[in-house]
Structure 1
């Protein structure tokens, strides 16, 4: 292939990637306020406003005719409930860590509680996934082309578009997973290429922070952390060296930061089992 042909081929790929990226942005922002605000999103609004489902049922279903205004007060922050009430409501449903819901509360205080506004926070996190996945690919493959292809594929992925338009924590979870993986790879690379601790210390701090943020977003991040353990110790051949030691300290720090909510989870395991019992029901074939 001649040099002009290679250049033309490269330009065609760049154009395609840009088109897919623009389509992904469009699909994430389109029709946000016309899709049904469904069951799980309603619970996002209720809990981030400082109420629990049981509390709403007790106050609303009392034999009176229920108007729109009667329900609206549970859908957005109001003077009756403060930040402490939101944390207490989440503690009674500990299967969902508090990070996203606290952010959703402040987001709706800033922009309002219209249907498209809570979903806008998820759209924002989904858009931030693009540079995050690009960074992860640079750490993995050291290839900008691979990074752009990954961005393009993720941009038009129906799975990611679907969750980008829901007022739920899954876009944030995706973002924190990718950031924790990329920051881990960066910290390992910095540690191997540096002799002074000060040259790679902050890389491990960033990893510990992103790990804690991921845990505070979704409990299944524990499995991501287990994957990191396996990866690091296989990479280092189960030797205790500066890389594995730095990883151990950073991961312990991340879990220590998560320990307040971990205590809530452990002390409310029975509630979690009750709340998630529906996941054990087999769907008829």
Structure 2
């Protein structure tokens, strides 16, 4: 028995090493993208924690814990990409370990636990956010800890597991509001078990459930005012801008989110062979699950723990995804908006591990080989340097190019206000930057600085409307009269933004000195004739 345990730990160590190696690929070579720059600049800008917390509570729509972690992390590991992102690598590796522990605790099966750890190590979504300077993989880690500790408490009734569940849930809420999807799943499962308890113990169980989540509420209460303030502010007309809400989703959204959880990709289209490979794996996996988990005494008869374990893992997978799909976060506001459902990768890995552990070794190996084959192109894509093709990671290139060719009297205009601070991260501090949208905004905001967005700029993210040609030309006329630039740099304007380019071409006063290179390098330069 001791030898088997030692071998399991050796395998786990190898799996963690593989996972860390995948997360370290290009971690320092790939430049920051906008959201990472946002995290970094907020931490750098405020000299004290109270000032940073005040800004976060009144301007940004984010809980403070990740910024506090960076505040203490960056002095030790630096502000370069590799140093800042290494915090996510640490918790990404920790998530692999927690997946193993969860497999052992829920299914009492080393094979299932090791397979779950391996799947967690190689899933593209885990790799992508295990090397990004954002809190997604960190709240996933604490969600996995909370889910595992809740299972242990409900089976063993030891208070230490209850304490871990409460503390992990509080930490998760302070990391990201999307943790509410996880908390709803764990609290909902526990609530179902309370309702199913015997009448003699139901009142006591309900009291414990209420007390535990009351503690979670009290722990998060100091930040609750900020959350309610931001929710109220979102529904308020500010600067003539109203929150535009879209309530419809595409009919394939649920399937798409599940696909992204398993095979994350930024590509709009994938190769036919990849589609066929995914379809083959789905069919084989459903068949394998139906055969491996079919009712039998060892699983659904005498194996009560396995029966409830399967249900628990399925619940943890489905509920957060359903809640995410029904939430505003599921609108495609960015390339990888599915990151809010990252927690679902862990129950998927656990379920995969259980299915593999119930199969014959050769069948499990074949299923795993097919799964790995389907993953390879997606793993390769998320591990590569996205700056080679993704404009979101070309901020540094754009900033360096403008810095190199900047002349006194130049003005930089960015497409939307939320890009201003991102580009400023790489621009020289003497280069003036203005934004096209919001259309009536000209930088008059007490919170706005070179590194931080103002309140109006931040709120405009959910209030962007398409201005008319006359409004755009009026904005450019006003900027021209304010700055009197000799040359104007444009950043973030695509070819389809023809109304902007028409302002320069009409009248014959400007010449196009440099043109954007497709959608990969969105920098234009206009000079007065």
TM-score by length of 2: 0.41
Q: Tell me the CA shift for residue 142 of structure 1.
A: 1.4
For residue 173 of structure 1, what is the aligned residue in structure 2?
139
Label 1:20 to 1:275 Cα distance change in 2 as closer, same or farther (>3 A): farther
The structure-2 alpha-carbon separation of the partners of 1:18 and 1:180, relative to structure 1 and needing over 3 Å to count, comes to closer
Q: 2:173 aligns with which of 197, 215, 221?
A: 215
| TM-score normalized by the length of structure 1 | 0.74
Q: CA deviation at 1:111?
A: 2.0
Q: 1:249 corresponds to which residue?
A: 211
By how many angstroms is 1:160 displaced? 0.6
Query: Cα offset for 1:230?
Result: 2.1
Match of 1:102, SS? helix
Q: CA 1:211–1:104 in 2, change beyond 3 Å: closer, same or farther?
A: same
Q: Tell me, in whole angstroms, the C-alpha distance in 2 between the residues paired with 1:261 and 1:248.
A: 20
Distance apart, 1:30 and its partner CA:
2.3
Do the aligned residues in 2 keep the contact of 1:97 with 1:261 (CA within 8 Å)? yes
CA displacement at 1:21 relative to structure 2: 4.1
**1:15 positional shift:** 8.9
Report how far residue 203 of structure 1 moved: 2.2
Tell me what 1:232 maps to: 190
Residue matched to 1:120: 86
CA contact (8 A) 2:16 2:97 kept: no
Choose which of 61, 74, 91 in structure 2 pairs with 1:95: 61
* Matched residue, 1:106: 72
Helix, strand or coil for the counterpart of 2:137? helix
Task: Say yes or no: does 1:43 pair with 2:38.
Answer: yes
SS at match of 1:216: helix
Q: Deviations over 1:216-274 (max 9, x none)?
A: 11112222222223211222335524444323211210111001111111022244568
Gaps of at least 5 residues in structure 2 are: 1-6, 236-241, 246-327, 335-529
**In the superposition, relative to structure 1, how do residues 160 and 134 fare at CA in structure 2: closer, same or farther (>3 Å)?**
same
Q: 1:262 aligns with which of 224, 233, 243?
A: 224
Report if the CA contact (8 A) 2:139-2:172 is conserved: yes
The 5 Å alignment of 1:182-197 reads: 182-191=148-157
Q: 1:46 to 1:139 in 2, by over 3 A?
A: same
State the superposition RMSD in angstroms: 2.8
Rounded to whole Å, the distance in 2 between the matches of 1:215 and 1:129 is 17
C-alpha contact (below 8 Å) 1:37/1:115 kept by paired residues: yes
- What is the CA–CA distance in structure 2 between the aligned matches of 1:82 and 1:149, rounded to whole Å? 44
Q: Which runs of 5+ in 1 are unaligned?
A: 1-10, 52-80, 192-199
Alignment partner of 1:202 is 2:160: yes
Count of residues in Structure 1 that have an aligned counterpart in Structure 2: 236
SS of the counterpart of 1:49? helix
User: 1:121 and 1:242 mapped to 2: Cα distance?
Assistant: 41
Q: 1:106 to 1:17 in 2, by over 3 A?
A: closer
Distance 1:169 1:252, change over 3 A: same
Larger Rg: 2
Q: Is the 8 A contact 1:122 1:169 kept in 2?
A: yes
